[in-house]
Amino acid sequence: MNKSLRSYVKDKISHISKYAFVGINGTIIDVGLLALLVDYFHVRLGFATAIAFIVAVIHNFIFNKYWTFKDNSDQIFHQYIKFLLVSIAGFIMTMALMYLLSITFGVWYIFSKLLTSLVVLSWNFIANYHWTFKSNVTVPYKDERVFEYSIIIPAYNEAKRIIKTLKQIIDYFNEKQISVEIIVVDDGSSDNTVEVVDDYFAQLNMESSQNSVVCNCIGLEKNYGKGKAVKTGVLMAKGEFVLYMDADGSTSISEISKLREQMCNADIVIGSRTDLSIIKNKQPIHRKMIGEIGKLCTKLLIRDIRDTQCGFKLFKAEIAYDLFNQVTINRFGFDIEMLVLARIAKYRVIEVPVQWSHVGFSNVRPIVDSILSFRDVVCIYFNYLIGKYR
């Protein structure tokens, strides 16, 4: 076991041990306060149970926030609501598992309780670690802008077609003599996307010293999702304007001029596939149906944007930094979350029809990714309701 892995395991064991210790203390407080209220103050059992549970949850929340996870976020109310919901879910799981094991299968109630406690402790720890107290590191915005544009390209198993897209981008900006950086973010590809892009960039640097385009390729250690890849690139960008676009080149880079023209009236300009007269190669029927279902789901959150999922969006750099520092969704729902955040911040968003052409091969899994996107929309809507987005 190497040093970094030992440190990781040691850190997780420390977290779990502290979490368990806090949970034991919370149980003592819960049971002790319940007995005190019922036997000494003669409070009705139902009311006493609720009071004891809430006090125990508050105790657990405070100690886990500041001791177990060492979280210094100022969103205390929102985190407490999450912690409370996790605790309630854990309580429901306890009741269900106890009934299943003891009543249905006739397992000894003490063993049932021990097994249930282990399962629920694991659930509570994982949910609070990855949801309630999930850290969101903010990358500070720097005023120095080195390039006019930063082009962010998220890529997953794009080795066979990304070079064509990169050539089109480089030729376009070299012809216009506009200073640009291209940031390709590989999202844990299982093919050789990183090697292909690195080799192409190295060849490009050797062939021309007059290139107005600076290229960089970043490889994520695993497949997080498109949202994570875009966020990584945006927070590294050094351009005055930041554009993210798809690796398949479904929208030509020349369409950026349409978006830039609207920047005098907007903070964010997004490409839209709503003008069917300029759609060169339409989506297959199953992709179109999934898109329409997605639009219906997002109407609750964003009513005035017709196409939230077109992968061609342009931002003023400071706006991009602000929004993507807050984005938490790693997969396809990140576009929706970003636009919700933009609306809350009252940023000006304009939708512009762009030429778009469906590319035959796609990494999108229609059924699985639709389910995951629906889950993301539910999560975004919940975060919106509890006031997480400020």
For residue 336, the enclosing domain spans: 147-385
**What confidence score (pLDDT) does residue 94 get?**
86
What's the whole-model pTM score?
0.69
| Domain co-membership, 314 together with 209 | yes
Regions of the chain short of the pLDDT cut 50: 1-2, 4
Domain boundary pick from 76, 104, 132: 132
Tell me which residue of 219, 226, 152, 147 sits closest to 183, measured CA to CA: 152
Same-domain status, 245 and 330: yes
User: What are 23-46's pLDDT values in tens digits?
Assistant: 899 889 988 898 899 889 998 888
Which among 356, 371, 339, 330 is positioned nearest to 136, based on CA atoms?
Answer: 330
Lookup result for tokens 């080795």? 159
Residue 153 lies in a domain: yes
Q: Is the domain of 112 the same as that of 260?
A: no
Question: What is the torsional sign of CA 15, 16, 21, 24?
Answer: positive
Instruction: Identify the pLDDT of residue 360.
Output: 64
39 and 168 part of one domain: no
Residue 137 counted as domain residue: no
**CA-to-CA distance for 359 and 246, rounded, in angstroms?**
11
Q: What is the pLDDT of residue 99?
A: 87
Domain boundary among 132, 158, 191: 132
Evaluate whether residue 200 is within a structural domain: yes
Domain-located, residue 178 = yes
Judged by DSSP in three states, 268 sits in strand
- Please give the pLDDT value at position 1: 46
The CATH number linked to 155 is: 3.90.550.10
Burial 212-234 (b: 16+ CB within 10 A, else e): bbbbebbbbeebbbbbbbbbbbb
Number of domains in the chain: 2
Identify which of 333, 349, 363 has the alpha carbon closest to the alpha carbon of residue 155.
363
Say if 142 falls within a structural domain. no
